[in-house]
């Protein structure tokens, strides 16, 4: 089964760290680590970091390990 993140994630252009945590996708502490390590692309507006829907989906797809099909 392949997860379709396009249908699961709300249609926002940019999301704050709190928005993503509120959707229960990634916790804010983990997002901050990913941003610090430059593992996810961010847009900085003023002093706040925002993540685009495209960047979030790309990160999730790149880090998703597909389940093996059951062989019964």
Within a domain: 45: yes
Summarize pLDDT for 45-65 with one digit per residue, the tens. Answer: 999 999 999 999 899 889 888
Classify 50 as helix, strand or coil: strand
Asked if residue 6 is part of any domain, the answer here is: no
Say how many domains are in the chain. 1
List strand residue ranges (DSSP E) for 2-68, in order: 14-16, 43-45, 48-52
Q: Are 40 and 59 in contact (CB under 8 A)?
A: yes
With respect to residue 69, please indicate whether it lies within any of the assigned structural domains.
no
- pLDDT band at residue 29 under the 50/70/90 scheme: very high
pLDDT-based confidence at residue 33 (cuts at 50, 70, 90): very high
- The boundaries of the domain holding residue 29 are 11-62
For residue 69, the tally of other CB atoms under 10 A from its CB is 7
- Asked if 15 contacts 50 with a C-beta cutoff of 8 angstroms, the reply is yes
In a domain, 15, yes or no: yes
Whether 27 has a pLDDT exceeding 90, the answer reads yes
- pLDDT score of 63: 87
Place of tokens 């495209």: 54
CATH, residue 43 = 1.10.10
Residue 18 is assigned to a structural domain of this protein: yes
């Amino acid at each position: 089964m392949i997860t379709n993140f396009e249908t699961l994630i709300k249609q926002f252009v940019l999301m704050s760290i709190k928005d993503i945590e509120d959707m229960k996708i990634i916790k804010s502490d983990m997002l901050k680590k990913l941003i610090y390590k430059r593992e996810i692309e961010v847009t900085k507006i003023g002093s706040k970091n925002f993540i685009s829907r495209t960047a979030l989906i790309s990160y999730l797809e790149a880090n998703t390990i597909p389940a093996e099909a059951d062989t019964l």
